């Protein structure tokens, strides 16, 4: 199996390829200025990249007095990449060209029967079917990037001990080893939050945000950060750390492995479901009981429906959860000071209330505000961020 990093031979070639990739279409004149190379060195580099089919000419630019400059772009058909999302509710596979145009996709519901063996077997069949339909050989496949629920060991390629999967068997899963035994192309693994931030950064790379924070709020809380276009890693997988942030001393917790008073116990889908069930059992009136008469069976789908109908109890519960989430968010802002925060996940997308309340609370509790200005966003890619970022993870290896 060839290393991805070896496909582009020299550091100069990698730098020029990366400049072209980040700008989409760029002229030779602009590349000369940006790369700081001599004209002859840049010409030789562009010829080498063109001969390898890594870049192609994209026409001529506007003249500034002389001959019209040649425009270049990366070749989307040089190779192909696969992105895989492994999450608790749904898992998703995409096949993309090198411009991240989606060519094929498939989704799986993560039911009680979707063990690793079952899911991985179906993914293997789907990959092979996609390659056959598109006439893609394994040598034309750049690799498979996997963004999975953590915690995980990305170096060893293992999903460690994730919580809340509906099916059994998701502890100590050697996911990269499984696919390496079945395909002759590179397999990369990272946590879902890191994959999602890569996807969003790729979608907005023209903005060149230096310090970017991503938080995914759904069944659990996950976060990641980029600085200078690079992911920030710790000594252990940090994806779920935000969920274990203590915001209320001696408060409640969701599981035996969680911190007491942790953020996830107040601002996650599970926490909101439990709060709604508790309030209804206390005798609070709500249209939730019209949707499901048994309080213990109330689920997040019922809560979203009642919220859309402006049910007072549901609005109260969601506002409270968003307030706690905003407090946790302000703690991160006070420590990390990102330029931009992208909020994703089911809690954020389910209703505008959660995003609005949480960001307002966060700003009120940010120490240097308004001197320190931060931009909040729900991102460009939405629910496609993670699976897209998993594919981008592979593409990025070309210039490492």
Q: What is the 3-state secondary structure (H, E, C) of 183-203?
A: CCCCEEEEEHHHHHHHHHHHH
pTM of the model: 0.88
pLDDT of residue 1: 53
What is the pLDDT tens value at each position of the chain, 400 positions in all? Answer: 567 888 998 999 999 999 999 888 999 888 988 988 998 999 999 999 999 999 999 888 776 667 788 899 999 999 999 999 999 889 999 999 999 999 999 999 999 999 999 999 999 999 999 999 999 999 999 999 999 998 899 899 999 988 889 999 999 999 999 999 999 999 999 999 999 999 999 988 767 788 999 999 988 898 999 998 889 888 777 777 888 899 888 888 888 788 899 999 999 999 999 999 999 999 999 999 999 999 999 999 999 999 999 999 999 999 999 999 999 999 999 999 999 999 999 999 999 999 999 999 999 999 888 888 899 999 999 889 999 999 999 999 998 8
> Which residues is 85 bridged to in the sheet?
92, 147
Q: CA gyration radius for the chain?
A: 23
Sequence-separated (6 or more) residues with CB below 8 Å from residue 300: 269, 272, 273, 346, 350
Domain with CATH 1.10.10.10 in the chain: 4-74
Angle at 170 between CA 169 and CA 175, to 5 degrees: 115
pLDDT of residue 64: 67
The CATH T-level fold of domain 4-74 is Arc Repressor Mutant, subunit A (1.10.10)
Question: What's the rounded Cα separation, in Å, for the pair 120 and 109?
Answer: 13
Residue 42, helix vs strand vs coil: helix
Residue 347, Cα to own-chain centre: how many angstroms? 15
Cis amide linkage into residue 59, ω under 30° from 0:
no
Give me the residue label for tokens 């966060």.
362
Write out the DSSP string of 389-400.
HHHHHHHHGGG-
pLDDT of residue 206: 67
pLDDT of residue 229: 83
* Nearest alpha-carbon partner for 82 in 126, 135, 52: 126
Question: Would you state the CATH architecture of domain 80-201+384-399?
Answer: 2-Layer Sandwich (3.30)
Domain with CATH 3.30.420.40 in the chain: 80-201+384-399, 206-379
CATH number listed for the domain at residues 206-379:
3.30.420.40
For the record, the structure tokens of 216 come out as 């995914």
pLDDT of residue 233: 85
Q: How many residues does the chain have?
A: 400
Q: Is the distance from CB of 342 to CB of 197 less than 8 angstroms?
A: yes
Residue 386, helix vs strand vs coil: helix
Residue 113 burial (10 A CB sphere; 0-12, 13-18, 19+): exposed
Write out the DSSP string of 223-249.
EEEEETTEE---SS--TTGGGG-B-ST
Cis amide linkage into residue 151, ω under 30° from 0:
yes
Question: What's the rounded Cα separation, in Å, for the pair 56 and 7?
Answer: 16
């Amino acid at each position: 199996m060839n290393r991805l990093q070896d496909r582009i031979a020299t550091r100069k070639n990698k730098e020029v390829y990366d400049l072209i990739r980040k700008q989409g279409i760029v002229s030779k004149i602009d590349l000369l200025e940006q790369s700081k190379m001599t004209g002859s060195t840049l010409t030789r580099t562009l010829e080498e990249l063109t001969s390898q089919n890594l870049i192609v000419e994209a026409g001529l630019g506007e003249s500034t007095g002389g001959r019209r400059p040649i425009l270049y772009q990366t070749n989307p058909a040089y190779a192909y990449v696969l992105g895989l999302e492994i999450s608790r509710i749904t898992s998703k596979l995409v096949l993309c060209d090198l411009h991240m145009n989606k060519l094929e996709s498939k989704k799986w519901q993560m039911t009680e029967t979707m063990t690793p063996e079952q899911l991985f077997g179906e993914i293997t069949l789907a990959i092979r079917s996609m390659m056959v339909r598109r006439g893609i050989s394994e040598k034309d496949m750049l690799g498979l990037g996997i963004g999975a629920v953590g915690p995980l060991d990305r170096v060893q390629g293992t999903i460690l001990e994730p919580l809340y999967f509906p099916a059994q068997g998701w502890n100590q899963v050697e996911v990269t080893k499984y696919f390496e035994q079945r395909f002759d192309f590179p397999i990369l693994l990272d946590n879902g939050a890191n994959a999602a931030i890569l996807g969003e950064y790729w979608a907005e790379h023209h903005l060149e945000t230096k310090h970017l924070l991503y938080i995914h709020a759904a069944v659990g809380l996950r976060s990641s950060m980029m600085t200078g276009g690079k992911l920030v890693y710790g000594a252990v997988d940090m994806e779920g750390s935000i969920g274990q942030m203590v915001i209320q001393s001696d408060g409640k917790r969701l599981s035996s492995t969680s911190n007491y008073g942790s953020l996830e116990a107040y601002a996650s889908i599970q926490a909101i479901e439990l709060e709604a069930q508790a309030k209804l059992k206390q005798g609070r009136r709500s249209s939730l009981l019209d949707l499901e008469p048994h309080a213990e069976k109330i689920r997040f789908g019922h809560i979203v429906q009642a919220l859309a109908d402006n049910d007072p109890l549901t609005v109260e519960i969601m506002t409270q959860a968003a307030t706690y989430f905003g407090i946790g968010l302000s703690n991160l802002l006070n420590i990390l000071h990102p330029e931009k925060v992208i909020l994703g996940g089911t809690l954020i997308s389910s209703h505008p209330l959660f995003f609005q309340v949480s960001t307002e609370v966060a700003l009120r509790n940010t120490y240097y505000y308004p001197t320190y200005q931060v931009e909040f966003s729900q991102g460009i890619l939405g629910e496609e961020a993670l699976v897209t970022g998993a594919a981008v993870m592979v593409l990025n290896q070309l210039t490492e």
